[in-house]
Amino acid sequence: MSVELKPASKYERKIFYKEEWNVKDVPDFIRNSLTSREFGFDHYGNGPNDRYKVFVDDLRLKRFIKVKQPFAAYCSVAFYDKPNQRKGWQKSELVFDVDAKDIPIRTCDCAEGEVCEKCLNQAKEIVLMIRDVLSGDFGLTNINLIYSGRGYHVRVLDEDVMDASSELRGDIIQYVTGSKLPDLSNEYGFNDLQPFIIPFGYPKNFTRWSKYTILHLRRSSKLDDVNNQLLRDVLKHRNLLQEDLWGMFRSNIGPIRYKKVMNAVSRINMQITDTKVSIDLKRILRLPSTLHSKVSMKSTLIKNIETFDPFDDAVPKFVYERND
């Protein structure tokens, strides 16, 4: 059957938390640090206004959620000495938030704010690319992938990045998403990233993301400083990038116009993830295992991203029992 991404009723939330939700489905990387994290809840669909919650063990978290059956549940990416006051910051996960409804160049025909199977698959492709850069270029290993309900969260808990400042996180985001024109005089492209061993260098990663973006452009795409004629020329010659013939692509576009295109592409790449989420050291994110009530999907820790299908692995039982 097809899954309709519509809001869950109060009764459906009750059924989900009574019969399906299990505190043991909360990922270990959160359960093992409960007393250092802030929890927040949205009980009525108006946003997380019940915040500064702390749970000393699984049992108390379980009791709270089973009783409250929240519209949405969140926990902080930050670790605190006093999470109930958000004081004594220790460190924070490095997070990449890829929401299918916010992908800048979507290949589907969804209306604004909506998601479908096609754009969710596109979000998954992006997450795979982010994961590969984090592990391949930065050598990070504690990378957790979460289906959020309308997209994906990449949550990194390597100690090398947990104490990074907002400024350094901003540089990491630009590197990972290919959203800065490369400085070819610098092997890395980013002076601030020298503490990390980056074997391939930034230009290769920028090329990879730029190719992805250009190959996904549509006639209706809007790019800064790129007029309709230039966009048509890009679409006409972009098949050259399938063979990585960048020199021929540049020649056919023209060097000045090519630079305009690459500047515009780098700005699009920056919109692939929600930058505000990544640099916010005190952000709260949807708690994996809980319900995204706006679309009736489960936020889910992904064990195998290659085989993960949200329409098989993240649909609550009550969705299949609806009688419309």
CA dihedral 70, 74, 75, 78 (to 10 degrees): -150
Catalytic residue among 42, 99, 171, 233: 99
Cα separation, 71 vs 293, whole angstroms = 6
Q: Provide the residue type at 163 as one letter.
A: D
Length of the chain (residues): 324
State yes or no: is 274 an active-site residue.
Answer: yes
Catalytic residue among 25, 50, 97, 183: 97
119 CB-side CA count, 13 A: 23
Work out whether strand 297-298 and strand 291-292 pair parallel, antiparallel, or are unpaired: antiparallel
Are the C-beta atoms of residues 105 and 268 closer than 8 Å to each other? yes
At 157, give phi and psi (nearest 5°).
-120, 20
DSSP string of 211-249, one letter each residue: HHHHHT--TT---TT--HHHHHHHHHHGGGGGGT-HHHH
Measured from the Cβ of residue 34, the count of other Cβ atoms closer than 10 Å reads 18
Catalytic residue among 102, 137, 171, 274: 274
Question: Using the 8-state DSSP alphabet, how is residue 113 labeled?
Answer: T
CB 91 within 8 A of CB 148: no
DSSP conformational letter for 303: S
**What are the strands of the beta sheet with 39-42, ordered from one edge?**
50-53, 39-42, 72-76, 284-286
Contact 71, 106 (CB under 8 A): no
Amino acid (one-letter) located at 74: Y
Catalytic residue list: 97, 99, 274
